[in-house]
Amino acid sequence: MVSADGRASDDTVAALGEFGLIRRMVADRTQPATTLLGPGDDAALVAAPDGRVVATTDVLVSGVHFRLDWSSPEQIGRKAVAVNLADLAAMGAVPTSVLVGLACPGDTSVPLLTELAEGMWAEASRARAGLVGGDVVRAEQLVVSVTALGDLGGRPPVTRAGARPGDILAVCGRLGWAAAGLAVLGRGFRSPVGVVNAQRAPEPPYAAGPAAAVAGATAMIDISDGLLADLGHLAEASGVGLDVRTERLRVDRKLVDVGSALGADPLHWVLTGGEDHALAATFPSFADLPEGWEQIGTVLLPDTGVTVDGSPYERSGGWEHWR
């Protein structure tokens, strides 16, 4: 945004400057007890009670992972943090802190970035994590990179590699909602709001990951690219097969209604839709599933792949970049 005399408008990043923007984004914020030293120095200092740190990072690019004509900056900020914290939950970890890398053009409005930061702080707070630092740089388009850190509480991490034949397969969280929301937005609609907002800002079940670890989960994964696609990663890492039973999958009435309106199969959204960031895990057959977890299948012998009702799924199993 440029004024009549050719200078940057006062409400742009170029006018405010790098350090002014940072001050605006971190002013008057509170931190959890795990943040020993927050933003303002060369690096942050975060407590690691367990003695180990679980770390993950994701990059969200405008036009690829979000659109400003579909989502508010606040929703984009929430989503950027949520997709990372869900990865920590999938390891059985409790989130402790978040670091943010932000790249944007100089004419990006400060109110837009302030709202983006509001969403980040809000989602981090929902998981009781701190936003402890990061960096801002100039770029041709808006890019948000988030790194999240977590604590295992003395437990071993739950990886993708521990499933055993005979285990049960379970999920916690919504499936298919974000895919349905994407389909609605892609048709030019903005309702039903609940479905659309599932795409704009997912709500991962953060506490379900540590709860699954305590309950003895043998393997776990965040459903980011689609249930079948991500189960394929778990099956490959564990050297097992997995069978999903469709009669056990929850297909919400709202998805049925949207599917009917758009001429789409809601079960396909549940099986292959990404970005809900639900959790899938395997448990010993004798385990009591924690609250919110529901069995959807079983772990099979190796070399059987991921099947649906005992047969290969004939359609695409989920999202993959560059494909």
Sequence ranges of the binding site for substrate: 65, 275, 319
Kind of pairing between the strands at 94-104 and 54-61: unpaired
Q: How far is CA 63 from CA 46, 68, 143, 314, in A?
A: 33, 8, 10, 29
- Other CB atoms within a 10 A radius of the CB of residue 209 amount to 30
Annotated binding site: 42, 56-58, 65, 87, 134-135, 160, 222, 224-225, 275, 319
Distances (CA, A) of 67 to 72, 76, 199: 9, 9, 11
Q: Say which residue the tokens 């249930």 belong to.
A: 227
Question: Six-digit token pair at 243?
Answer: 């069978």
Give exposure, 106-136, as e/b (b: 16+ Cβ within 10 Å). eebbbebbbbbbbbbbebbbbbebbbbbbeb
DSSP label at residue 71: S
Parallel, antiparallel, or unpaired: how do β-strands 143-151 and 54-61 relate? Answer: antiparallel
Using N-to-C axis directions, what is the helix angle for 73-90 and 110-126, rounded to 10°? 30
Distance of alpha carbon 196 from alpha carbon 70, whole angstroms: 9
Binding-site annotation: residue ranges for Mg(2+): 42, 56-58, 87, 135, 222, 225
Structure tokens at 297: 């299948």
Residue pair 290/232 in contact (Cβ under 8 Å)? The answer is no
- CA 51 to chain CA mean position, Å: 25
| Structure tokens belonging to residue 312 | 């290969």
Annotated binding-site positions for ATP: 134-135, 160, 224
